[in-house]
């Protein structure tokens, strides 16, 4: 486990989250594997498979986010090996009204990463809210 890998992954994830918040689709896709599997907040139940399907999930999210919603990492924990890593994070993700009404609301995010040709890429994402 190297500090350098952890730093690279932290930069990758915070850069990705900034791109999400800016609605920058190219930035969101920049460090993602072709065969990514995403478990998203909305259905389908069996996941989003492949980069084109992953790409297609973002424009509707950006439309919702344009209502003034946040997408802000609150905590991020990374476990990096030589060539496989995972990370889990909590994010403030909601409109100001939603977060005022439910101040503890957090998006939970888990990422699986691989080192391919010396470069980390995200190969799995799991986004969820708890069921109250």
Q: Which of 14, 41, 52, 60 binds a second copy (CB under 8 A)?
A: 41
Q: Which is nearer to a second copy, 29 or 114 (CB)?
A: 114
Q: Does 4 bind a second copy (CB under 8 A)?
A: no
Neighbours of 128 (CB within 10 A): 12
Helices (H), 66-114: 96-101
Widest distance between CA atoms in the chain: 46
**Given 81, 101, 116, 119, the residue binding a second copy (CB under 8 A):** 81
Angle formed at CA 71 by CA 46 and CA 125, multiple of 5 degrees: 30
Residues that bind a second copy (CB under 8 A): 1, 37, 39-47, 77, 79-86, 88, 90, 104-106, 108, 110, 112, 114, 123-124, 126, 128-132
């Amino acid at each position: 486990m190297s500090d350098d890998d952890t730093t690279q992954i932290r930069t990758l994830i915070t850069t990705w989250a900034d791109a999400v918040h800016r609605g920058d689709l190219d930035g969101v896709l920049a460090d993602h594997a072709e065969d990514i599997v995403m478990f998203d907040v909305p259905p389908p139940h069996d996941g989003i498979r492949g980069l084109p399907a992953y790409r297609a999930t973002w424009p509707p999210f950006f439309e919702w986010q344009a209502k003034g919603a946040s997408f802000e990492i609150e905590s991020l924990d990374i476990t990096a090996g030589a060539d496989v890593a995972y990370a889990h994070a909590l994010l403030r993700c909601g409109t100001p009204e939603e977060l005022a009404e439910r101040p503890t609301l957090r998006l939970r995010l888990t990422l699986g990463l691989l080192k391919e040709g010396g470069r980390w890429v995200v190969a799995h994402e799991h986004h969820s809210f708890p069921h109250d």
